[in-house]
Amino acid sequence: RQLVLAAEFPSAASACDAICAIMERGHTPSLLELMDRTTVRAVNKMANMGLPDSTEALLLAAFDTPDPTADLAAVAELCTAAGATEVVPAEDAAESEMLLQARRMSLTALETVKPATMIDDVCVPRSKLGAMLEGTAAVAEKYDLTIGVCAHAGDGNTHPVVCFDHTDADESRRARESFDEIMALGLELGGTITGEHGVGVLKKEWLARELGEVSVELHRGIKQAFDPLGLLNPGKVF
């Protein structure tokens, strides 16, 4: 049985403080997810979920421990201490599922904002999550784009989603530049350009920037040793 708690925060920084406190106290949530204001509003617009539009960051925590109610109560206290404006533990499995469904709909909801999206995958230290969300919001404003962020907050893994019209050349250019700037932000904060989704095509140059020439050559050598004929995923990173 998994129960979920939702906590609203007036800033990304205060949500970050709560996340750090939860993990530092040794709690082991089965889920710790963060949604920024843009993502929350997109979900509400698409599905009328009734999530708090006024929140700057919405944190969802879940436990499947022997006593999830006690764990949620402890997390609720930490969220309140960090500055949460509202903390609502789900009362039953149905309410918990509703909150989880809202998180699952994040990407789909952001895809309704514009015809195309680019999904970044930048992981930063947990203590830098607030700076990552605030920095991404600044990038969105700079390039006049909608960029929503959801994150697997327990390990600092963020997914900024750049929404744009791929038929508009100028908007497509701004989207790509914002994507690059978000990766640069992640590195500046001590993070990595990819937390779980791999490098792909868009991040080939950024892999070299993060790892350095020696590490890239090492990776290239390993690829050559296991795939001398170049049959595996040709034309991508190597």
Alpha helices in the chain (DSSP H): 12-24, 37-47, 68-82, 93-104, 106-111, 129-143, 169-188, 204-211, 213-226
Given a contact cutoff of 8 angstroms between Cβ atoms, the answer to whether 106 and 148 are in contact is: yes
**CATH code that applies to domain 3-106:** 3.30.70.2190
Q: What is the pLDDT of residue 146?
A: 98
How far the first Cα of the chain sits from its last, in Å, is: 45
SS3 152: strand
Tokens of 214: 């020696």
Closest CA to 32 of 80, 92, 99: 99
CA distance 178 to 137: 11
Using CA atoms, how far apart are residues 6 and 15, in angstroms rounded to an integer?
A: 11
Residue spans of the domains in the chain: they are 3-106, 109-224
- Confidence (pLDDT) at 153: 95
Whether 3-106 shares its CATH topology with 109-224 is answered: yes
Model confidence, pTM: 0.90
CATH (one of 3.30.565.10, 3.40.630.30, 3.30.70.2740, 3.30.70.1530) for 109-224: 3.30.70.2740
Give me the tens of pLDDT residue by residue for the chain, a chain 238 residues long.
Answer: 678 999 999 999 999 999 999 999 999 999 999 999 999 999 999 998 888 888 999 999 999 888 888 999 999 999 999 999 999 988 888 888 988 999 999 999 999 999 999 998 999 999 999 999 999 999 999 999 999 999 999 999 999 999 999 999 999 999 999 999 999 999 999 999 988 888 878 888 898 899 999 998 999 999 999 999 999 988 777 7
pLDDT of residue 1: 63
Tens of pLDDT along 36-65? 999 999 999 999 888 888 899 999 999 988
Contact yes or no for 68/7 (Cβ under 8 A): no
pLDDT of residue 69: 87
Query: What is the reported pLDDT for 50?
Result: 84
